[in-house]
Amino acid sequence: MEDVLDLYEEPYNPLYPQVCFDERPCQLISEKRQPLPAQPGKPLRYDYEYKREGTCNLFIFFQPLACWRHVKVTDRRTKVDFAYCMKDLVDIHFPLAKMIRVVMDNLNTHKLQVLYEVFEPKEARRIARKLEIHYTPKHGSWLNMVEIEISVLSTQCLDRRIPAKSILQREVLAWEQRRNSLGATVNWQFTSTDARTKLSRLYPSNLLR
């Protein structure tokens, strides 16, 4: 836990960016009946029936100190998808970085060894050498700031029925661009010192004397 919290306290350095990473499933839903248009005194009204159009996945990258986020829409959440997300970090989003510090939970697919299952060893090693992983503890995914950003995304963009992946991609891109242009970020204030006080039950008692 303190490993992640100490990382958050470090100042911004474009050569060593801090990136929070996670994913979120998304169900695609279409209408069975056309909504009734809004009228004076009456909002747009939707029928309770809907049609399932399958699912997809959202990978979310969030760099709080630079007020930047990116959402990648994929069909699935597999080791291959994760590997290509890490490659995107290195080659597309932060090609000039010396080391990218990535905060993520300890999901079974969130392992750098999957790079070797997807890419040739030389390429896998090239990507892995640019990544420094900081895992949140078990049951401590709330320490990942991207969880807050996912909550904002869910409230501002995904709070309606979206019928197709192409439409979802367009909607999340518009949301992403707006948030980035506004310089929106997370005002994180929880520190290692706070953790030792408020979460003292998680520390061995002899270490806090």
More confident residue, 55 or 140: 55
Kindly list the structural domains of the chain, giving each domain's residue range(s) and its CATH number in brackets, ordered by start: 13-30+50-185 (3.30.420.10)
Count Cβ neighbours within 10 Å for each residue of 151-168 and write b for 16 or more, e otherwise. Answer: eebeeebbeeebbebeeb
Task: Name, in order, each residue with C-beta under 8 angstroms of 138's C-beta and a sequence gap of 6 or more.
Answer: 106
Distance (Å, rounded) from C-alpha 88 to C-alpha 61? 10
Strand 68-74 relative to strand 131-135: parallel, antiparallel, unpaired?
A: unpaired
**pTM of the predicted protein model:** 0.87
22-54 per-position pLDDT tens digit: 999 999 987 666 765 776 877 766 556 668 889
